[in-house]
Structure 1
Amino acid sequence: MITAKIEESRRQNGLDSYASRSIRWGIVGAGHIAARFAEGLGFVPNVTLAGVWARRDAQAEEFARKHGTRAYPSFDNLLDDIDALYIATLQDSHSHYATRAFSAGRAVLCEKPAAVSARELRHLQDAAKASNVLFMEAMKPPFYPLFQKLTEHLTKDPIGNIAFVRAGCSIADAPADHPSFKLERGGGALLNIGIYEAFLAVRFLGKAIKVQTLGRLGRTGVDSFASLNIQHENGIAQIFCGLDLDGKGDAFLAGTKGSVTIHENWWNPCRATVHYLGGRTVELHEPFEGGGLNYETAHFCDVLRSGGIESPVISHEMSMQMIAIIDAARAEMRLTYPFEAG
């Protein structure tokens, strides 16, 4: 299904086959997610890691040594030598780095959430289109082998109309100094965890129409737990996310002729169980390699080589619908960040 969408994108852009050139990647940020991305590049064909830049020189140098690349003295120097940028910083800085990359004509794969609000995301999408460059939110689940296998299975052997989605995750053991607890950096459960569940709800139920939220703020002012009931175009979703409770990370899809459980951790999926009315059960098991980020990266490279400026899977509109859910929940919880003042 993903391959068919990419082929259609190629035809629309007048390209009938893959370009052969290697894609030179740069990374901004040198933390845990940046390391996972760099490791994943080893599982993506025809790419190179050209370099990294981070605000702390020592951290960038250590990252470069570990991953066999170059630490650049400035962000602009990095942009000069790459085709595509992976933004691995905290979400409060995504807009800053993305807009500079667009101005330099560089494609951007931005770690989720791509923006802290729909308003900011629209600004980024408009800027990318104005510069005619590819911009995609790094929402990994749909590119995993299990998710693709499940999608193919439900096409051939459907569970009827899917009209209910339940998904959630709550992490009780994050260290007190974790960025998720920093209000000034756009922390909180909704942006860091809930955006995943928002994706799943939008993917199967369409645009959200109404969002009802119960939640609480923690000692640092970020949302420490939120439970959302969402009315979508095609059904109802119940999602939760938290930073102070231990919550199982599975997902459930209910249809008129059966149901699906995507076993934990559903956002790094490798196993699903499909139940049908009458008692029939189908088990799906598709292991993944490379840490999982490699699949979204390979897709991004395909779209970039095709000449596309928007993913047919994680489209601009899908990203907008996802962040709109988070915006609505934040509004009910009266949660704002210091950098949003005015």
Structure 2
Amino acid sequence: MKPHSHILVIRFSAMGDVAMTVPVLQRLVKTYPHLKITVLTKPFFKPIFEEVPGVNIVTADVKQKYKGIFGLWKLARELKLLQLDAVADLHNVLRTKILRFFLFFFGIKSAVINKGRAEKKDLTKLAPKIIKPLKTTHQRYADVFAKLALPIDLNSPITADKHSLPQLLKTQLKDYRKWIGIAPFAAHKPKMYPLSKTEEVIAQLDASGQYDILLFGGGKKEKQQLDQMASRYQNVYSMVGKLSFKEELQTVSNLDVMLSMDSGNGHLASIFNIPVITIWGATHPYAGFAPFQQAPKYQLLPDLEKYPLVPTSIYGNKEIEGYEDLMESISFVEILNIINHLLEKNE
């Protein structure tokens, strides 16, 4: 690609995968300052891509305005007007394949992510079990740009600035305390730490009187559960339903540490170089979905001697017999020790 080329980067969902594009794009911008970059995504995810300086963001509601073949044709015609030189498809699903075909019809070439489906299938096979680290999703994204002759170094340092704290929280949180984010939910039960054990962590942290604990989640049921949990403690606050998504990102940028499942919140925190502790259940960081440049010692796994078939799935949507309680094998004391270690380290 020429230094002044214009590329379209496509990633519609999901939140964690979208968040993982940010450190890659930040380094792309830094490496090629004259490259023009337009990101195509869903409207909800716009605040995430606003963390990448200088990119143009185009949002498309692919379930309404741009629904179906004719909607994607309309979108392709609108994108053609941007005078694109190439497309980097970081999603590679049916919708983006159709869109790429239409853009190819207009003479715009593309490069697409290799998701490594075969090797991920091998990793989650129950027998024979071969555990080895696969290429990270961040590197898979970077490989797409390398195909467009835009190689990047993911180890290139990037400064992540804190945002101003939303006004609502300025009146609640104490500046002299450390702020701990906890995101206790996941899309699937096999990768979610039991809420009762998460609450044991919260109770111990609250009792110390040294921290403000912020709970993150989404949806009506999660809101109810986290509101009830927060009401039982003096220094615990549920963020659900109180902030816009942009304000949530601003809040996350001010955390001292984030405790998350294998879910999007850990990836959001890593955008801002926040230390992230990730609790893994049926999934495994070797599949390539660990938060960006977080130390392996902060990736907490079940007892692999007791549960040797982990990972049993890539997305945590498969539960196998005898593995229903695998998360119980992760000690809440171990989680507390790591949180305290990280907070002491950052003093």
Same fold (TM over 0.5): no
Bin for the TM-score computed over the shorter chain = 0.3 to 0.5
| TM-score normalized by the length of structure 2 | 0.34
TM-score, normalisation: structure 1? 0.35
Give the number of the structure with larger relative contact order, counting CA–CA contacts within 8 Å between residues 6 or more apart. 1
